[in-house]
């Protein structure tokens, strides 16, 4: 009982700070996405495919969340984006306060789009709002088609589900129809895009999705 | 600061209960393993390969930890093992108290080996001892060879690292040498076995590992 109350206090406080983040980003006309997935589903690889395309038209910053190491930050930085690294230590998710501190280190008037790469974890990142325009989750098809009902909150809270590594479909037992159907049972409004960061399949659809959502959110 | 202190209180209490679990299991001569991995790395598939082999010689029980659904429990139960399901709701790991309650529902004199399948998460399960003889982690090679340094605690706390889905090696960029080297940098004593639940490769080595460790722990 005690633990649960602490949990709700922490999440309530997190929501307040997320709201501050939302207002701050809005004030500076920054469009923002929070990328979430299990470890190794391909968030960093997706950013590596995304940045060269987005940076042709927009000024982009990335916040990288990791328990340890700045490996992902270095991979992303190599593409010329402004990158801020948050090492969470033993904390299994980013929270709104971490993002708030990071935002104060970025010249928000100098960027159009902020991409946040959350810690690899299919559970807790879904519980902590960061104050972004939209949450995007990746599911690698190697993780299995049974995940929507096993990790429902992540699917419920996301606006877009990206099914990654579809190049491996011939080699694994993954029923795309089942994954799509169960994701929609969890969240009827969720968009779904199939991609492969390896072959480039679906990257156009993902860039289109970002640009459409950006315009809907008042972006240019 | 406040959050950190709460965290340590919770983990200290968890350690006490884990010690009780350890004593209880020892008293009833039950050998126990805690299987941990990211979502979709193949814990349930591994149990499905393992149970028919182990159950030829030992009486086996399984505790299944999931946020939601009893899908994994049903898969495992189909193999005839005694299965107890723990649905954690929004808790991203099993803790010692959950296992303690489960142990009181099992006739411990009627089993030799207890396998616990933790919640799919590469972070928090490593922080919560359950009181078992050994922790075993699975890393699917589709998750990438950079994981040991990014999620160090899981590798540090495990006695065995199972590299699963090696049948997919021809189709993904995964450097087995790098993964082995970095896992050993985190934990020089860790055993490493390569397996494929799909082809059956390495399952013999895994069963041998269990039996050897069981005997070392005083089992028959």
Give SS3 for B168.
helix
Angle at A90 between CA B31 and CA B147, to 5 degrees: 75
- Give phi and psi for A14, each to the nearest 5: -60, -40
Closest CA to A141 of A8, A41, A26: A41
Q: Write the residue in A39, A171, A172 that is nearest to B38 by C-beta.
A: A39
B123/A127 touch (CB, cutoff 8 Å), yes or no: no
A146 touches chain B (CB under 8 A): yes
Angle at B64 between CA B123 and CA B155, to 5 degrees: 30
A4, with CB counted inside 10 A (0-12, 13-18, 19+), is: exposed
B152 touches chain A (CB under 8 A): yes
From CA A7, how far away is CA A160, in angstroms rounded?
27
Rg (CA), chain B: 17
A150/B92 touch (CB, cutoff 8 Å), yes or no: no
**Structure confidence at residue B219 (pLDDT):** 79
Question: Per-residue pLDDT for chain B (220 aa), expressed as one digit of tens each?
Answer: 334 455 778 889 999 999 999 999 999 999 999 999 999 999 999 999 999 999 999 999 999 999 999 999 999 999 999 999 999 998 999 999 999 999 999 999 999 999 999 999 999 999 999 999 999 999 999 999 999 999 999 999 999 999 999 999 999 999 999 999 999 999 999 999 999 999 999 999 999 999 999 999 987 6
B122/A121 touch (CB, cutoff 8 Å), yes or no: yes
Strand residue runs (E) in B76-178 = 82-87, 113-117, 134-140, 160-164
ipTM value: 0.88
Higher local confidence (pLDDT), B31 or A220: B31
From CA A217, how far away is CA A32, in angstroms rounded?
10
A142 touches chain B (CB under 8 A): yes
Q: Residue written as tokens 């470890």? A: A39
Flag whether the pTM goes above 0.80: yes
């Amino acid at each position: 009982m005690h633990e649960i109350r602490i949990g709700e206090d922490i999440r309530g406080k997190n929501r307040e700070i997320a709201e501050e983040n939302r207002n701050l980003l809005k004030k500076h006309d920054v469009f923002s996405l929070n990328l979430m997935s299990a470890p190794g589903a391909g968030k960093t690889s997706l950013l590596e495919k995304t940045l060269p395309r987005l940076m042709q038209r927009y000024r982009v910053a990335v916040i990288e969340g990791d328990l340890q190491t700045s490996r992902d930050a270095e991979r992303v930085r190599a593409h010329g984006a402004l990158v801020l690294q948050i090492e969470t230590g033993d904390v299994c998710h980013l929270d709104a306060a971490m993002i708030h501190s990071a935002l104060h280190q970025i010249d928000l008037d100098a960027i159009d789009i902020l991409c946040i790469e959350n810690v690899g974890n299919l559970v807790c990142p879904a519980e902590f709002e960061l104050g972004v325009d939209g949450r995007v989750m990746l599911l690698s098809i190697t993780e299995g088609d049974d995940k929507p009902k096993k990790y429902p909150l992540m699917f419920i809270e996301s606006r877009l589900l990206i099914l990654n590594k579809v190049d491996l479909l011939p080699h694994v037992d993954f029923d795309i129809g089942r994954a799509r159907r169960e994701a929609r049972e969890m969240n009827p409004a969720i968009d779904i895009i199939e991609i492969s960061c390896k072959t480039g399949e679906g990257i156009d659809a993902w860039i289109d999705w970002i640009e459409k959502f950006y315009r809907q959110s008042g972006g240019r």
